[in-house]
Chain A
Amino acid sequence: MAKQQFAMVIDSSKCIDCKGCVISCKVANKVPEGFSRNWIKASVPAFSMGPRTRTHFQPGACMHCDTPTCVQACPTGATYKDAETGIVEIDNSLCIGCGNCIPACPYGARFRNTAIRKADKCDYCPERRAAGLLPACVDTCPTKARVFGDINNPDSEVSRMLSRNKGKVIKIVNAQTDTKPNMYYIGETAPTDWTTAAVVPASMTVMKEVSPLIKGIVGLSGLGVLAMLGRQFLAGSSDSHEPEHHDEEARHD
């Protein structure tokens, strides 16, 4: 378990769909047009007579999962779960933009940033945290629907919220791919059926499947070399060269 586990605890009933979090994130992280690191989803409105008509808004972003399928799909380790903070990070200098991680996220939290042409997603605003500020979306939220902190620290606000709401904490999990997300919704939330099963691209699956085969071929080759070395030392000079040589010469002459 990570020493810290930064997480978001969200009371989605407080969300008024103002999209302040989406905009502040785009500004803070210079997210290119047409993309967003976070979102607000809405349930299908339950139309009825008058005041009972209602809908539910649900803020979200990368859930910094405990078993992140995006990390499993990354060939270089450019995306990894930080052992100190529990944050799923992207090392841009090591990311080659292969795109494997994007369909591997059941939450669609990743996209290929058109400006840097590499994977992008929520990283809990490291520059702001270094300056002692909260992530932009949390700071901006006017109703404080989004709360951020370390759930491994029992004194944090997120930990207190989780213990106060024991039994009423919901995680949004895909039926086929449970990535053990670290985004906690308090009370009730909707919609919950919008995730997709993680898809690891065929290129990555092929690489994983042929990997033992390649190791086997290299191993066989190494064994062959060892066998030749063994013969070289045991049978003396493996040159049975000389007699053969003369035979041949005799034949040629």
Chain B
Amino acid sequence: MTRLFKRHDKSDIFIHWFNAACWLLLLVTGVGLIGNPDIDPVGSWYPDTLRTLVGGGGNLLTIHVVIGFAWILGFLWYLTVNARGAAFFLREVFMVSPARDMAWMIKKMVLMTLGPKPLKMIGMAPELPEQGFYNMGQKAFAQASVVGGVVIAVTGVIMFLSDKVFTAETAWIVSWSVTLHYIAVGLVFAGLLVHVYMAAISPEERPGFRSMFTGHVPEDYARHHHGLWYREISSEPAAKGE
């Protein structure tokens, strides 16, 4: 029987899918709140239709704000129940070893789109440098999500507070919040497309995808995809547990 390695806590799994659901709903409602032909991501038919569906732009804004606060509360809950997990995540995600990780990133992008031939043609070995708990692609998207998420949450709260505490003199902060909210969502969404493909559609990461439900990955997946992490853990728990 193949050995399993624990990758995610129940709270990790919950916050991942909770975040996914919130982001989907926030994206769907948020794009509908942009009502200006110069910045509409998909054209004015979308906000027009959505606003009609929910009985007006004001209702759509309320829905967006309620989901936004639920999202923030979800994260505060997660931080209280699994602060250690959050700290581990942040440490792993922001610790980059430049030479190893950049080489991984560039090779992986070529391998995934063009295959190993171009790498061989320029005399590069197609083998990927070993990765830790997260590979550089996961790190890059996680970094964007953390930084982007904080920017999105803070600017969102500022916009919510606009008609409660801000004045004509300080409204420029609200206006810049709109801009930053827009840019941050755009950039995180660009990364999200790749994340969804790599995690849910690409066959290679299937065991990783399953672990986002079960919390565990099989040994050969851990060894092949997260070699540095595998070597760290395969000695420890194996010696004690199995």
Contact = CB atoms under 8 A, between A and B. Distances in A.
B35 A96 contact: no
A232 B114 CA distance: 10
B187 to A, nearest CB: 7
B193 A94 contact: no
B34 A228 contact: no
Interface stretch (B69-77, B96-104, B156-164): B156-164
A74 B162 contact: no
Given A94-B57, A97-B171, A116-B163, A238 B36 contact: no
Interface of chain B, main secondary structure: helix
A224 B115 CA distance: 13
Contact of B175 (A77, A203, A252): A203
Contacts of A206: 179
B83 interface: no
A77 B202 CA distance: 40
A94 B58 contact: yes
A19 interface: no
A211 B38 contact: yes
Interface residues of B, number: 56
Given A77-B47, A218-B190, A227-B113, A96 B162 contact: yes
A245 B224 contact: yes
B239 interface: no
Q: Which of A96, A111, A116, A249 has the most CB of B within 10 A?
A: A96
Contact of B57 (A93, A218, A244): A93
B20 interface: no
A72 B174 contact: no
A112 B168 contact: yes
Contact of A232 (B35, B56, B116, B203): B203
A210 B183 contact: yes
Contact of B203 (A96, A100, A237): A237
Contacts of B127: 244, 247-248
Contact of B164 (A76, A117, A204): A117
A118 B227 CA distance: 56
Contacts of A114: 167-168
B193 A218 contact: yes
Interface residues of A, number: 58
Contact of A221 (B116, B194, B201, B227): B194
B163 A118 contact: yes
A225 B35 contact: no
A207 B183 contact: yes
Contact of A208 (B38, B41, B190): B38
Nearest to B48: A77
A91 B51 CA distance: 12
B189 interface: yes
Given A96-B163, A98-B178, A245 B58 contact: no
A231 B113 contact: yes
Interface string B114-147: 1110000000000100000000000000000000
Nearest to B164: A117
A229 B36 contact: no
Contacts of A77: 34-36, 47, 57
13 contacts: A78-B57, A98-B174, A98-B178, A99-B175, A102-B168, A117-B164, A203-B176, A207-B39, A211-B38, A211-B39, A228-B112, A240-B116, A244-B127
Closest 8 CB pairs of A and B: A77-B35, A93-B58, A99-B171, A214-B186, A94-B57, A112-B168, A221-B190, A117-B163
Given A78-B35, A207-B183, 4 more contacts: A75-B178, A94-B56, A99-B168, A117-B167
